[in-house]
A and B are shown apart, each in its own frame.
Chain A
Amino acid sequence: AQSVTQLDSQVPVFEEAPVELRCNYSSSVSVYLFWYVQYPNQGLQLLLKYLSGSTLVKGINGFEAEFNKSQTSFHLRKPSVHISDTAEYFCAVSTHQNSGGSNYKLTFGKGTLLTVNP
Chain B
Amino acid sequence: KAGVTQTPRYLIKTRGQQVTLSCSPISGHRSVSWYQQTPGQGLQFLFEYFSETQRNKGNFPGRFSGRQFSNSRSEMNVSTLELGDSALYLCASSLISGGREAFFGQGTRLTVV
A32 touches B100 (CB 8 A): yes
Instruction: For the complex formed, measure the closest distance between the CB of A71 and the CB atoms of chain B, giving whole angstroms.
Output: 21
Stretch at the interface among B60-68, B78-86, B90-98: B90-98
Q: Tally chain A residues at the interface, Cβ within 8 Å.
A: 27
The 7 A-B pairs at the shortest CB distance, nearest first, are namely: A108-B43, A51-B99, A43-B104, A44-B104, A105-B45, A43-B106, A32-B99
Given contacts A43-B90, A101-B55, A111-B42, contact A106 B107 (CB under 8 A): no
B71 at the A interface (CB under 8 A): no
B33 at the A interface (CB under 8 A): yes
A residues less than 8 Å from B109 (CB atoms): 41
B8 at the A interface (CB under 8 A): no
Instruction: For the complex formed, measure the closest distance between the CB of A105 and the CB atoms of chain B, giving whole angstroms.
Output: 4
Interface SS of chain B = strand
Residues of B that sit less than 8 Å from A by CB: 4, 6, 31, 33, 35, 42-43, 45, 48, 55-56, 58, 90, 92, 96-107, 109
A36 to B6, CA, bound (A): 18
Residue of A nearest to B105 (CB): A43
A49 touches B99 (CB 8 A): yes
A46 at the B interface (CB under 8 A): yes
Instruction: For the complex formed, measure the closest distance between the CB of B11 and the CB atoms of chain A, giving whole angstroms.
Output: 14
B residues less than 8 Å from A110 (CB atoms): 42
B56 touches A104 (CB 8 A): yes
A100 at the B interface (CB under 8 A): yes
A109 to B44, CA, bound (A): 10
Given contacts A43-B106, A43-B107, A46-B103, contact A108 B55 (CB under 8 A): no
